[in-house]
Chain A
Amino acid sequence: MKRILIIGATSAIAAACARLWAKDGAEFFLVGRNTEKLEQVSNDLKVHGATAVSSYRLDATDIAAHSVMMKNCLTTLKQIDIALIAHGTLPDQKACENDVNLALQELSNNAISVIALLTLLGNQFEIQRHGSLAVISSVAGDRGRPSNYLYGTAKAAVSTFCEGLRARLFKVGVSVTTIKPGFVQTPMTKGLNLPPLLIAQPEKVALSIVKAVQNKTNTLYTPTFWALIMLIIKLLPNFIFKRINL
């Protein structure tokens, strides 16, 4: 039985991963902002086979509250076999260009809060010398594109942080998986004008995440064709890249 901590547990991708882990009788410590939604996810996981589910209200940007959450989590789970960090927002790029405070707030939502949590979790996993960390970053972090470079900046910070943390924790047998989803049909992407052929369902993305965690994969592009798309985008020289609107 796996003991699993999920931050941002009401996100569609996280909830879909949790359902898969629940089938194997996992025990969960779910963290999210909305208690009502946490309770609904928690009931769903119990029916899907979870051995036990606890939930905990936390706004991830409230950094001061992280350590109390961690204490609670460890009291409940005793040890963390898998930690999945899945919270995040999708910033309105245009609005961020005109409002410094909003831009910084979005950086806090998507990068600072994640780095703060990973710092605590990294130390815990180092003590445990056991476990898997999985962090939802994004393909958006691979290159600063004009349409969403604030989000890209935050995710690039997360990806780079994970890379360093992975190399540190590898020595004690702990894996860090950076997950880079493409477009996924979730409430976060609701209302965006995305090409239908590139949109993946959260269930499909979740399957690949659970597998990647199991295999201790370093970086996962999901669906996998995004690895190719991002390779091409990364290879575009700047004199071309800056002239197109991606």
Chain B
Amino acid sequence: MTSDLYSWGRYPKHAQTATPCSWRSELQGVLTSLRDTYEETLPYGNGRSYGDSCLATSDQVIQTRLMDRFIKADWQTGRIIVEAGVTLAQILDIAIPNGWFLPVTPGTQFVTVGGAIANDVHGKNHHRRGTFGNHVTRFGLLRSDKGALVCSSYENPKLYSATIGGLGLTGIITWGEINLISINSSAIDSTKVRFSNLKEFFLLSEELDHQHEYSVAWIDCLAKGSNVGRGVFIAGDHAPYGELTLTKKSKLNVPFAPFISPITPHTLKCFNNMYWHAQPAERTRKNVHYEPFFYPLDGILNWNRIYGSKGFQQFQCVIPDTHAEATVHELLSAIAKAGQGSFLAVLKRCGEMPSPGMLSFPMPGTSLALDFSQHAGLESGLFRRLDTIVAESGGRLYPAKDAHMSGEHFRSFYPAWEKVEALRDPALKSRFWKRVTS
């Protein structure tokens, strides 16, 4: 309506004017009219992409969030068909009481299905189930030049692969068919233990990953010296016994972006230190509800505003297994030395399952993700060093989180980009794509 849209990181700050579309039958008209007026546009779901991949070159986006109806659900097989604007939270609300759960979920349930496909998101079970795209058997795609198409591994297979992780450039995803996984309880049987350095993390990961559906680690990104890479390892499985209940939804809100961010290196260091010491030194097993387990930050609405009016950037990379420990150590040392970073820094081992998507981010290796408040010199200083370390290790950065990677790096990280460019809908282009391909 009236308020402009931004990306989740609120950086770069290009206000997007939204044309909302509530009905699949009206999408073609909206797309054609925006193309005729502005040449290029872009689908925008629920605005959870961090950088500029959800910002249109023309700053005119088609908001698909209101196109959020369920089309079909088979509770015998767990196969659902939903419109692209349906959020993962909406799916869980309906699926859990029926004994089903998302096969793969990222760290927020507020992404749309269209966004989850377009960014080929992954979660704490990547080592077992791969990416979201691995569980999307078919989807509808609307193109300005070809009209409405159905894509799967056997219908329009090239567009199917190009669209999974295709950053919304190959057409507007209108609906998706997803295979859910069955659960007996909405609780998560979790195991938590803190570790004192990176070596311990890799030992824990080696031992526990294959035993558990989910695994992830929180890292104290400011720890230095022998403490580099200390953190908390969290593994979990869907509890075999229990009730199928939804979490009650009372949430805190950050109503506006403070002019000066409360997140400073000093407050962060104190906080990280306290948090780490508060975690169990022995392995502690506990049944927890799925919401705090998967979506700790969803409990605070608009948490992105906490970084102040300048916004923030998330840095997420994946480092191939062969170099993982040494490279992650190098990255964390550089971050701790710079004294920057965020409370939420996440380390996760990715598995071997290939995604059908051409531009999918994960690879067998270790992924590191953390936020940085935006400031002058972030890109020319710390990020430049980190990018070089990532590139030299043969790893790559995640477009969904990115607002800074160089075109040169992107094109070497994702050699399939030219294939996606060839299949791109000429009416769709993001600021990200323009930045990294030209």
| Residues of chain A having any CB pair with chain B under 8 Å | 12, 36-37, 40-41, 43-44, 47-49, 185, 187, 189-196, 199
B2, B25, B73, B94: most-surrounded residue (chain A CB, <10 A): B2
- Contact A44 B20, CB 8 Å, known A189-B1, A194-B1: no
Q: Is the pair B66, A194 in contact by a Cβ cutoff of 8 Å?
A: no
Contacting pair A193 B71 (CB below 8 A): no
- CB atoms of A47 and B70 under 8 A apart: yes
> Assuming A40-B69, A47-B70, A48-B94, is B2 touching A192 (CB within 8 A)?
yes
B241 part of interface (Cβ distance < 8 Å): no
User: Does B271 belong to the interface (CB within 8 Å)?
Assistant: no
- Would you call B2 and A193 a contact (CB within 8 A)? yes
Residues of B bordering A, CB below 8 Å: 1-3, 20, 22-25, 66, 69-73, 80, 94
Instruction: Give the residue of B1, B72, B94 whose beta carbon is less than 8 angstroms from that of A43.
Output: B72
* Distance A155 CA – B23 CA, assembled complex (angstroms): 27
Complex: A189 Cα to B20 Cα, angstroms: 11
- Asked if B20 and A187 make an inter-chain contact with CB atoms under 8 angstroms apart, the answer reads yes
- Closest 7 pairs between A and B when the two form their complex, measured CB to CB: A47-B70, A44-B69, A196-B3, A47-B73, A44-B70, A187-B22, A194-B2
- Asked whether B1 lies within 8 Å of A199 as measured between CB atoms, the reply is yes
Contact A48 B70 (CB under 8 A): yes
Q: Give complex CA distance A184, B266 in Å.
A: 43
Q: Known: A12-B22, A187-B20. Contact between A41 and B3, CB under 8 A?
A: no
Question: Beyond A194-B1, A196-B1, A196-B3: 12 further Cβ-contacts under 8 Å?
Answer: A12-B22, A37-B25, A43-B70, A43-B71, A43-B72, A47-B71, A47-B72, A185-B1, A190-B1, A192-B2, A195-B2, A199-B2
User: A36 to B25, alpha carbons, bound, how many Å?
Assistant: 8
The docked-state distance in angstroms from the alpha carbon of A138 to that of B1 is: 19
CA A44 – CA B85 in complex, angstroms? 13
Tell me, rounded to whole Å, the shortest Cβ–Cβ distance linking B15 to chain A: 13
Residue of A at shortest CB range from B25?
Answer: A36
B24: chain A residues at CB < 8 Å are 40
Closest residue of chain A to B1 (Cβ to Cβ) is A185
* Cβ-defined partner of A196 (8 Å) among B2, B20, B23, B94: B2
Q: Which residues of A contact B80 (CB under 8 A)?
A: 47
| A196 CA to B18 CA, complexed, in Å | 14
Which residues of chain B come closer than 8 Å to A47, judged between CB atoms?
Answer: 70-73, 80, 94
Q: Which residue of B lies closest to A43 (CB)?
A: B71
Q: Which residues of A contact B20 (CB under 8 A)?
A: 187, 190
A185 to B5, CA, bound (A): 15
CA distance A187 to B3 in the complex (A): 15
Distance from A18 Cβ to chain B, minimum over Cβ atoms (Å): 11
Provide the bound-state CA to CA distance between A191 and B30, in Å: 13
- Of all chain A residues, the one with the shortest Cβ separation from B75 is A47
Give A40 to B175 CA distance when docked, in angstroms.
12
Tell me which residues across on chain A come within 8 A of B71, comparing CB atoms.
Answer: 40, 43-44, 47
**Chain A's nearest CB lies how many Å from the CB of B413?**
38
Q: Which residues does chain B contribute within 8 Å of A191, judged by CB atoms?
A: 1
- The answer to whether B69 and A12 have CB atoms under 8 Å apart is no
Residues on A with beta carbons closer than 8 Å to the beta carbon of B3: 196, 199
Nearest A residue (CB) for B3: A196
